[in-house]
Structure 1
Amino acid sequence: MPLAWYSPQPERQEIMNEAFFDKKEYKPLDRVDGRLKVTGAAKYSAEYPLPNMAFAVLVGSRIAKGTIKSIDSKAAERAPGVLAVISHLNAIKVPGYQPKGEHPSEPSTNGQPLRVFFDNKIVSNDQPIVAVVATSLEKAQFGASLVKIQYTKEQHKTDLEANAGDAKLAASAKKNPKSPTADYERGQKDAFESAPVKFEAEYVLPTEVHNPMELQSIIAHWEADNKLTVYDKVQGTKMTQKNFAKEWNIPEENVKCIATFVGGAFGNGLHNWPHETAAIIAAKQVKRPVKLVLTREQMFTMVGYRPRTWQKIQVGATKEGKLVAINHQSIGQTSSYEEFTESTLMQTRMMYASPSVSTRYRILPLNLATPIWMRGPGEATGAFALESAMDEVAHAIGMDPIDFRLANYTESDPDKNMPWSTKYMRECYEEGKKRIGWENRKLKPGEVRDGEWLVGYGMGTGTFGANRNSATVHAELDKEGNLVMHCAITDIGPGTGTAMVQIASNTTGIPTDKITFHLGNSEFPNAGLQGGSSTVNSVGPAVLAACNALKEQLITMAAAKGNSAFTSAKPDDLMFDKSELQLAGKSAKTTLADLFKQNNIEKIETTNESKPDENRNKYSMNAFSMHFAMVHVHPFTGQVRVKKIVCCADAGTIVSPKTAESQMIGGATGGIGMALTEDAVMDHRFGRYVTKDLGDYHVPVHADVPDIDVYFVNKPDLLADPVGSKGLGEIAIIGVAPAIANAVFNATGKRVRELPITPDKLI
C-alpha cells in the first residue's frame, strides 16, 4: 500500500518525485576486478616484490600488566640472516611519540594509542615489544624464538563483569553533552515505574574478532630519509598518509599509501596499529624495505575487536501494546590507555515511538588492547538487546512481535525531532513476512515441528546513519570513448569499483567495459575511509559530478563547432550510444572521434569534489534493515540450524544489485556467527585468549549458512545524496543476531540473553 510522507516539505516532494522517474535502472554487473582476484593477478599489501626486502616478526608480551625487566637478544642477534632485534632499548625515536600529548594516529578523541617500542610498560597480553628483522621470513621467525624476556608482573584486570563497578562516563561525553555517548533523557524520567506492563533483563555480547581472510600486513619502504611509501592493509589511504606524516614529522606529500586490494576488513583497518609503526621503524633502522605480516593469533590481540558489552534494558508498555518507556544501559570495555566508544544505544533513542527514553553508556578500562569498530559498530550490539527485549515484551503481552513493532512505528525521528528523509520500513515488514512464511509462526513457543526438530520464527530490525563525506574524483575521457577515473578510496570487499563504474555508465551511457575506476592510492584525489556505510553515498556523487562535468565539456565543444542543437543542452540531455553522442528528444548527434578531431585533442579531463549539502540539517537520514530467520532446534541435543534468512533493506538506490546482494548475504553470515558461534574466550588468570585461531574461534562455514533471500525497497533518497543511496554495509548485519535469538525462543521457549547461543544453553 502507498506510504504517506511525514509532513512533506515542498523541496523534498519535488526531489522525490524526480527520483521515481530515473531514466535508467541499474542492472546486475559482475565485479570489475573479479577476474584479477580469482586469477591471482590482484596484488595485496604483502605481495609487492621490492628489491632487497627484509622481513620482520613481532614478539609479544606474555603478561597482561607490568614492566619489562630485561630482554636477552644476543642469541637472536647471532642467528643466521638476522639484521636487527628492535625493542624500546634501541629503537629510533619516533618524532610523533612525545612523552606527553596525543599520538597523531588517533581514532577517538581521548587517550592515546599504544606507542610501540616506547618504554618498558606492559598494558596487555601479546603487546608487541620486540621486532626481529631478517633476510627471510623463516630466519626472522627463528630469531624471534630465541629472544628471552623477563617481566615484573602486576595485577591485571581483564574481566568486564568482575570490574563493572569501575565503569565510567567517556571523556567525549563529559566534553560534549550532546555526544552519542552522553546520558540521554526524553519524556518522563520515572515513566517505567508506573507502566502497566514492566519488563527488565540483562544481555551480554562477547568479544568478537574480525578475522578477515587477509592477515594484517604492511611493507614499509623509506625511499629517502623523509620519503615513505607503505603498502598497507588499511581502510583509508588518505588517513594513513596523514597519520604517518604526523608521526614522522614529514610533509604529507612525502608519504604514499597503497592499498589497491584489501582481502576483507570489517573495521580492523580503520585505525593505524602498532605493527605498522614497528615495520616503519624497522625499515628506517635496517635501511631496507621491511615486510611485516601478523599471524592469525596476533590478529586477536593487535588490531582491535568488537568489545564485550553488558546491557540492561527496562521496557514499559500498556497491555494494548503501546510503549510507555525504554531505559537502556550499557558497559563496553576499552583499553587502559585509550578510550574507545561506539553508538551502542543510538538505535534505542530513535527506532520506536516511545514517549520516554533513557540511555546510559559507560566504558570500562581493562588490560586489553584497544577495541575498534566492527561491522555494524555499536548499533549491532545495541540491537541485540533492544530487539530481543521488544520480542520479550510482545510475548508477555501476548502480541505478535511485528504487530507490536508496528504499533510503535515512528513516522519521524523522535530523537532529533525531525522528519526522515525517506523511510520504507513498512514495505520491509510486509515483504519479509511473506518471504519467511510468517503465517506459520505461532504465538506460543514450541508449537511448530518438522519431524523431531522444533521450528521457530524470529525477526529483528536495524538502522544506521546514511552518512556522507566529501570526496573528489578525477576523470579522463579519450577519443576512443574510454573513461578512466581515479579516487583514493579503498575497497575492502563490497565492490566499490563495480559500483562506481555502474554510476558512471548510468550517467553517461558509456558501456561498463569501457570504464575503469582506479582506487586505493593516497596519490589519487581525496576520499575518506571505507567505513560507516558511507562510500557509495560519498564517492558516488563525486563520480556523478565528474561525469556531468565531462558531458558539459562535450556540449560546449559541440556547440562551438556550429551544432546549434547543443547550445542550450544540459548534461542530463547528453548520452553516449556506442560511438555517438546524442541529445535526448532531438535528432542532433555527433561522434566522439569527430568532436575530438575537430578540437585537435586526444582526451578531456576534469576533477570534481562533491560535498554534503544543507539538507542534512533539515532531515534525519538513516538506512533501515529488517531480518527474518527460521530455525530448527533439536530438543535433545540443543543443536540450532538456521534454515532460512530473509533480509529486507531500505537503503535507497541500489546502484550495484549483484554486489549489494552479496553485501547482505555477507552481513547475514556475520550475524549467524554473532548469534551462534563467535566468542573470544579469555582466561582471566593470565589475561590471555584461549580461542586464538580459527580452530577454536568459530566463524560460520558453508554448512552453517542457509538460503538467504534478499529484498531491496530500492527507492532513492535524493535528499541524502545525488545518487540516492543510503548505505548498506552496516545494516546488513544489524538485527540478524536478535532475529535468530528470537526464532530460537519461538522454537523452544528458552530465552538466551548471552551470546553465542550454544547447545549447553538450550538443554
Structure 2
Amino acid sequence: MKDYFFQDTIGKPMDRVDGRVKVTGAAKYSAEIELPNMAHGVLVGSTIAKGRIKNIDTKAAERAPGVLAVLHYQNAPKVPGYVQAAHPTEPKPIGQPHRVFYDDKVYFNDQPIALVLADTLERAHYAAKLVKASYEEEKHTTNFAKNTDKAILPTAAKRNPRHGLNDYVRGKEDAYKNEPLKIESEYVIPSEMHNPMELQAIVAHWEADDKLTVYDKTQAVIGTQNAFAREWKIPVENVKVIATYVGGAFGNGLHTWPHETAAIIGAKKLGRPVKLMLTREQMFTMVGYRPHAWQKVGMSATPDGKITAITHEAIGQTSSYEEFTESTLQQTRMMYTSPNVTTRYRILPLDISTPIWMRGPGEATGAFALESALDEMAHVLKIDPLEFRLKNYTERDPEKNLPWSTKFLKEAMLMGAEKIGWSNRPMQPGTLRDGEWQVGYGMGVGTFGAHRGRATVKATLYPDGKVVMQCATTDIGPGTGTAMVQIAADNLGVAPEQITFELGSSLFPPSPSQGGSATVASVGSAVRAASIALKQKLASMATGNADSGFRGAKFEDLTFQNGQVSLNNSPGTKLTYSDILKQQGLPELEVTEESKPGEERQKYSLYSYSVHFAEVKVHPLTGQARVTKMVSCADAGKIVNMKTAGNQMIGGAVGGIGMALTEGAVMDVRFGRYVTKDFAEYHVPVHADTPPVDVIFVDKPDFISTPMGTKGIGEIATIGVAPAIANAIFNATGKRVRELPITPDKLI
C-alpha cells in the first residue's frame, strides 16, 4: 500500500473546523445550556480561613423573591461517596478533594458554605448576599515564607521508595558545595491563578434518581464521569457528561471541584435542573492555581564550562486537606550532562484551597529556577549562555540511562538564536541601549514528557463519502477537532471537508483527559488506527468482489486517495468508497479502534523540547520592563497543523510573559484572604504587554513516540519563557531578580 501520510493535509496551516461556530456565537458553552424548568445556583463563601461554622442564618435569603432553597451542611442531601470516604474502617486516603456541605469545618477562605437556588440568576445573586454566618475561628496558617520549615515529603513518596517525588541523587550528593566555581541562589514564584475566558460552569440534571446528566466545563469527560459515579454510588453508564465546547482551560478543568458537586446536590434537592457558574472572584479561590513555590539551586562547573554538579530543592504549597504534587524537579534530572545531581521536593500544607496543574505544571516552575541558574553560572564563567548550554548538551537521558526517541533541541537552539539576533547580545550586562532604554537578550530551555495514553475512536463512513469520527476527548483551545480531521484526511485519503470529528461527550468512545500535552499523540493515534481499519474493510470488500477488477489484489497493492481505492499498477482501475458501500448494499461502514502506547516507552526516553529567546527593554528611571521581541522554537516531532500549533506557541509565550512580569496572587496573611481577586488587581498580559512572537518548528517526526511522528507542544510553549525574560532583564540591567513577577519596584 502506498503511504499517503503527510502527503496532503498534515503540516498545512488549515483553518479551525469549529472556528466559524465559535466566532459567530453558534457554539454553546456549559453556562449557555438551557433546560426546561431550570433553576440557578449561587455559592456563598466563608469569610474565615480556618475554624467551624457556628451558625448559618438563611431566613432572609429564603424569604427573598424567587428563592427555591438555601442549602448548607445541615440540610443538603448527603453525597453517598462522601460518607464512604470518611468511614473509619477504610484506609486513609492521601488527602481528598474538598467535600462540599459535608460538615461545619472551614479549611480555606471563600470555601463554599451555602448554595442559594432561585428561579433567576439575578435573584440567586441577591439572596446570596443575605446569607449570614458566624464562626468559631481558629488560628490559620497562610504565610508561605514563614512556614517553610514545616514542609514535608509527600505521602506517596513516603509509601514508595521508588516514587519519582522521592529525593534523587546521581553521583555524589550536594557535590557542588565542595567545588571552587559555584553559584547558589534561591528563587520564588507566587501563586498564579487560572483565568480562562470561560468561567467554570455546570448544568446538572437528574433524569432519574440514579441517572445524572451534566453539561460541564471540564478537560476530562471520562474522568468527570467516573468521579461523579463514585460520589453518588451509581453505575458509571448512568452518568452522562457533555463538554462540547470549552472556552479555554490551563489545567483548571482537570479536577472535579466543589461547585460541580454543589450543583448536583442542588438538582437532587429540587428535582429540577440547576445551572451554576462561578464569578470571576470565585475563580481565584475555588478551582485551583499554580502553587506558590520556593526553590534553591546550587551549581558548579569547570572553568571551561562543563557542569560538575547541580542541587535543586523545591517546596510547593498544598492545602491542609489534600496533597497536591507536581514535577518541579524533572527537567533538572535529565536536561544537562552533570555527573552529580541532587533533587529534593517537599510540600507545605497551608490553610488554603488545593492547587492544581497549570500549563507546564511543575516543569514551568522548575525551569525558572534551573534556567536562571544556568544563566548565572554562565555569567560567572564569562561564557555565552547559549554556548554554555551546548557544552552541556545531552545525547542520552542521564537520569534513565536510555537513548532519546528523538532530540533536535540543538537545532532548535541554533534556529532560535539566529532569528532573535543573539549575536547582538553583549557579554557585559547593562551596556546595550536604545535611546533611554536598556536592551538585553535572554534564553530559556523547556522540556515536557512526550506522553501518550489509551484512546478509542469510532469512525463511520456514509454512502455520500462523508466520514464521522467520535471520541470523548475535549478541546480546550488547541484545535483538537482540526488536528484530528487532518490526521484522518491523510490516513483515510478523504478530503478534510468530508470529515467531521465529534467530541466532548461521555457517550463517545473513551479518551484520556486533555492535559499533559498528550491529546494529539493519544487520540490522533486512535484516529489513524480507525482510518486504517476503515481502509482494510473497504479493501476486503473491493478485492472480494469478482466484478470489481480488484479480485485477488492485496492490501499493499492498493492506493487510497481522494475518496477512491485504486490499483497501484493500474490507476485506472478504481472505485469510490461510496461505490463500494453501494455494491455491498450497506447504509454505512463503521469501525471502532483503540490505540495505546507499547514497549517503546521502556526502551527510550521520550520528551518534547523548546527554547525561548527574549529581547527586552528596561527603562532605568521607571523600572518599566517591556518584552520587545520573542522567538519560540519547538522540537515536537511532526507538526500536524502549522497554524494551530503556532497559536499554541504564541499562547504559551503570553502565559510566560505573565508569569515573568505581571502575574502573582497576593495573600493578606492576617485574614488568609487574597487581595488579588479580580482583573483590577491581578494582571494578565494584554496586547500592550505582548510583542510579536516568532514561532519556529524543527518539524522532524518521532515515530517511536507515535505512529504519526507527533509529540505534544501545549506545555513546552510556556516552559522556559519566564527565565528567558528574567535572563534578558539581567543582561539589560545587571540586576538579577529571582522572585517573580519582575515588577518595576524590583528594578529601580
Of residues 445, 460, 463, the one that matches 1:479 is 463
Of residues 66, 69, 72, the one that matches 1:84 is 69
Matched, 1:343 2:324: no
Change (3 A) 1:100 1:663: closer
Q: What amino acid is aligned across from residue 470 of structure 1 in structure 2?
A: R
Other-structure match for 2:293: 309
Q: What's the CA shift for 1:169?
A: 0.3
Other-structure match for 2:742: 757
Matched, 1:97 2:70: no
Other-structure match for 1:154: 138
Q: What amino acid is aligned across from residue 500 of structure 1 in structure 2?
A: M
Other-structure match for 2:596: 611
Other-structure match for 1:51: 36
CA contact (8 A) 2:612 2:630 kept: yes
Distance 2:271 2:453 in 1: 38
Other-structure match for 2:625: 640
Q: What's the CA shift for 1:571?
A: 6.6
Other-structure match for 2:394: 410
SS of residue in 1 equivalent to 2:604: coil
Distance 1:54 1:688 in 2: 30
Of residues 696, 719, 724, the one that matches 1:734 is 719
CA contact (8 A) 2:545 2:551 kept: no
Other-structure match for 2:314: 330
**Cα distance per residue 1:522-572 (max 9 Å; x no partner):** 010010100000000000010000001000111111111124546443379
Matched, 1:254 2:243: no
Other-structure match for 1:521: 505
Q: What's the CA shift for 1:695?
A: 1.2
SS of residue in 1 equivalent to 2:395: coil
Name the TM-score, length of structure 1 as normaliser.
0.95
SS of residue in 1 equivalent to 2:229: helix
Q: What amino acid is aligned across from residue 630 of structure 1 in structure 2?
A: E
Change (3 A) 1:266 1:109: farther
Other-structure match for 2:520: 536
Of residues 626, 630, 640, the one that matches 2:615 is 630
**Cα distance per residue 1:355-406 (max 9 Å; x no partner):** 0000000000000000000000000000000000000000000000011011
Change (3 A) 1:559 1:21: closer
CA contact (8 A) 1:20 1:715 kept: no
Other-structure match for 1:397: 381
Other-structure match for 1:658: 643
Matches within 5 A, 1:494-509: 494-509=478-493
Q: What's the CA shift for 1:451?
A: 1.3
Matches within 5 A, 1:396-475: 396-475=380-459
Distance 2:514 2:706 in 1: 17
Matched, 1:512 2:476: no
Change (3 A) 1:523 1:21: closer
Other-structure match for 2:177: 193
Change (3 A) 1:109 1:324: farther
Matched, 1:700 2:677: no
Distance 1:449 1:184 in 2: 44
Other-structure match for 2:58: 73
Q: What's the CA shift for 1:598?
A: 1.4
Other-structure match for 2:228: 244
Q: What's the CA shift for 1:724?
A: 1.1
Q: What's the CA shift for 1:109?
A: 7.0
Distance 2:187 2:625 in 1: 20
Of residues 581, 601, 614, the one that matches 2:586 is 601
Other-structure match for 1:686: 671
Name the TM-score, length of structure 2 as normaliser.
0.97
Q: What's the CA shift for 1:191?
A: 2.0
Distance 2:165 2:621 in 1: 43
CA contact (8 A) 1:19 1:718 kept: no
Matched, 1:222 2:206: yes
CA contact (8 A) 2:493 2:564 kept: no
Distance 2:639 2:327 in 1: 26
CA contact (8 A) 2:318 2:324 kept: yes
Distance 1:206 1:428 in 2: 30
- Which ranges of structure 1 fall in alignment gaps of 5 or more residues? 1-17
Q: What's the CA shift for 1:602?
A: 2.1
Of residues 132, 139, 156, the one that matches 1:172 is 156
Q: What's the CA shift for 1:150?
A: 0.3
Distance 1:479 1:739 in 2: 54
**Cα distance per residue 1:217-249 (max 9 Å; x no partner):** 000000000000000000011111111011000
CA contact (8 A) 1:509 1:576 kept: yes
SS of residue in 2 equivalent to 1:460: strand
**Cα distance per residue 1:594-652 (max 9 Å; x no partner):** 22221111211100000111111100000000000001111111111111100010001
SS of residue in 1 equivalent to 2:456: strand
Matched, 1:570 2:555: yes
Of residues 706, 713, 728, the one that matches 1:743 is 728
Distance 1:76 1:567 in 2: 78
CA contact (8 A) 2:5 2:490 kept: no
Of residues 713, 719, 744, the one that matches 2:698 is 713
Change (3 A) 1:585 1:462: farther
Distance 2:272 2:17 in 1: 35
Distance 1:102 1:265 in 2: 34
**Cα distance per residue 1:271-298 (max 9 Å; x no partner):** 0001000000000001110000000000
CA contact (8 A) 1:556 1:567 kept: no
Other-structure match for 2:252: 268
Q: What's the CA shift for 1:101?
A: 4.4
Q: What amino acid is aligned across from residue 295 of structure 1 in structure 2?
A: T
SS of residue in 2 equivalent to 1:98: helix
Change (3 A) 1:534 1:585: farther
Other-structure match for 2:532: 548
Distance 2:352 2:51 in 1: 13
What is the total number of aligned residue pairs between the two structures?
742
Q: What's the CA shift for 1:583?
A: 3.8
Matches within 5 A, 1:584-595: 584=568, 586-587=570-571, 588-595=573-580
Q: What amino acid is aligned across from residue 650 of structure 2 in structure 1?
A: I
Q: What's the CA shift for 1:20?
A: 13
SS of residue in 1 equivalent to 2:520: helix
Distance 1:558 1:254 in 2: 41
Matches within 5 A, 1:358-397: 358-397=342-381
SS of residue in 1 equivalent to 2:290: coil
Distance 1:102 1:35 in 2: 51
SS of residue in 2 equivalent to 1:163: helix
Distance 1:546 1:484 in 2: 11
Distance 2:388 2:619 in 1: 29
Q: What's the CA shift for 1:575?
A: 1.7
CA contact (8 A) 2:4 2:491 kept: no
CA contact (8 A) 2:318 2:349 kept: yes
Other-structure match for 2:167: 183
Distance 2:244 2:480 in 1: 11
SS of residue in 1 equivalent to 2:145: coil
CA contact (8 A) 1:102 1:111 kept: no
Q: What amino acid is aligned across from residue 670 of structure 2 in structure 1?
A: R
Q: What amino acid is aligned across from residue 269 of structure 1 in structure 2?
A: G
Matched, 1:724 2:709: yes
Of residues 122, 130, 134, the one that matches 2:118 is 134
Change (3 A) 1:410 1:585: farther
SS of residue in 1 equivalent to 2:81: coil
Other-structure match for 1:489: 473
